[in-house]
A = this chain, B = another copy of it.
């Protein structure tokens, strides 16, 4: 049996003389989360995981997805005629290998060039050239997906200068210097958070990401924002015009790019710019790193000051929530889903709250071991006064972005759970206390967080920390703390998460996550040294700590941290909450 949509796709492939068609899960802007319009992979296959690629051939079809989704994909692909290919599992080909092996010489593949980045496209072309297989760029889904959602048209608003720190003129000036330095004439930017940052604009076209679908083209003398203009109110239009920013309709970028003189040079970041953009350019292009990502990763004083205030309020919200769970778990019917709703409603009370910064991960008992768990009616657990609850959540606020995880005890827990919790805490403290020389990258520091686990033959299968946007995406590059060789130096003002964990499949999961910022430590004849400052405030469950496993220094750290937590949060809490917090932050 084959699903109807795949059948329709095959019909139209035939009309277009295509032997294969690839459906990705990307949007034209290389966004982490995509709006409904670009969920074509889910539409055609029924598989709703966050990552996956579909390839349809004339006689068979496959889905490629990663370990998080094997079980879900098998279920959702049943009777679809689409086979599951497990990524990174020995014995399964990659989708490129599979296409290469299954197609004859001179075959033709179709793909929507608007959602394929230049770098991936180059790799595909190189692979397929050996069989003279050609790629045709066409969006076939558009012809068969009749109720396809349109591009979101939500309102755009300005990110006020009191929050944003630097003006858009200043930022554009910096980018023009970069264009000059790179001996180029234009810089085309398609990543939505980079556009939002540059122009001090925010939007809500994508869940969890306060951005608007748009392109930005900067030359030495002009700045053009390509956006559906019904998204901008008059005030914003005049403010942008005042700053000499031209506003043109979203779709006109392709024509405009085509008109740039062949002798001019345009900077593009090949990892994010899509093929449709690239192919509309007649001028020379120069590949560049995503320079704005570097600029915006280093937060200035105003951004940091706001972010710190924001995380104190967010911490108070989390304490209100934790107190509420702790008080009601015995008497009320609490579930993974309804506590999530409660957490959202508490955060929403904050006047600067805009949205969640990601879908909360609230996992009770063994659900805590699923790193990207999201409860649904089928899987949802009722909470009982026993075991551990993992809560990983965050908010987007006008003055910052939060991302914090606490794992806390609902009642009796095992000795092993407490040992593991203490190891994770040791990892958090180890990384927090790092001192590092200028030039250090995340891959140099990762082991500090992992060491207490590794010493015990335990590992967590994810990175230790990611960059965090400022009232922007909760996952932001280019910096990162992990074993991976990402050559990005940690610089003063960079904000990161610090989130080691232990995940025991079928048993429980523990993660403790704080937000940290790179600050100066000392300068000597040997160089400039940095350290981290923790700017998340919420109690780390002392009932789960085996104090005897901590060193004196670690004990001092947790006591001093809890002292800060109480001092910063108590003014924002009521009497009952304060009493509870006092007890949760007492010395150990």
Contact = CB atoms under 8 A, between A and B. Distances in A.
Given A521-B457, A522-B457, A524-B458, A439 B529 contact: no
A443 interface: yes
A440 B483 contact: yes
Given A439-B483, A454-B436, A527 B459 contact: yes
A451 B451 CA distance: 13
A523 B458 CA distance: 9
A437 B529 CA distance: 28
A454 B437 contact: yes
A431 B487 CA distance: 23
A446 interface: yes
Interface in A459-485: 459, 461, 483, 485
Contacts of A522: 457
Interface in A242-269: none
Given A458-B526, A526-B458, A485 B483 contact: no
A445 B443 contact: no
Nearest to A482: B444
B454 A529 contact: yes
A523 B457 CA distance: 7
Given A436-B454, A454-B435, A487-B485, A526 B447 contact: no
A448 interface: yes
A350 to B, nearest CB: 38
Interface string A412-436: 0000000000000000000000111
A441 interface: yes
B443 A436 contact: no
Contacts of A505: 525
Given A437-B459, A454-B435, A454-B436, A485 B443 contact: yes
A436 B444 contact: no
A328 to B, nearest CB: 35
* A contacts with B: majority SS: mixed
Contacts of A450: 437
A455 interface: yes
B527 A441 contact: no
Contacts of A461: 526
A565 to B, nearest CB: 25
A86 to B, nearest CB: 18
Interface string A513-527: 000000001111111
Contacts of A487: 485
Nearest to A443: B443
A458 B522 CA distance: 10
A441 B524 contact: no
A32 to B, nearest CB: 25
Interface in A390-424: none
Contact of A457 (B441, B444, B526): B526
A158 to B, nearest CB: 40
A447 B459 CA distance: 19
Contacts of A529: 454, 457
A115 B277 CA distance: 46
A92 B434 CA distance: 34
A385 B542 CA distance: 55
Contacts of A435: 451, 454-455, 457
A454 B454 CA distance: 22
Contacts of A455: 435
Interface in A325-348: none
B447 A436 contact: yes
17 contacts: A434-B447, A435-B451, A440-B447, A440-B483, A441-B443, A444-B444, A444-B446, A444-B447, A447-B447, A447-B448, A454-B529, A457-B521, A457-B522, A457-B529, A458-B526, A459-B526, A505-B525
Interface of A: 434-437, 439-441, 443-448, 450-451, 454-455, 457-459, 461, 483, 485, 487, 505, 521-527, 529
Shortest Cβ-Cβ A-B pairs, 9 listed: A459-B526, A457-B524, A485-B485, A457-B522, A435-B454, A435-B455, A444-B447, A437-B459, A458-B526
Given A445-B447, A454-B529, 10 more contacts: A435-B455, A437-B450, A444-B447, A444-B483, A447-B448, A457-B521, A458-B526, A459-B526, A461-B526, A505-B525
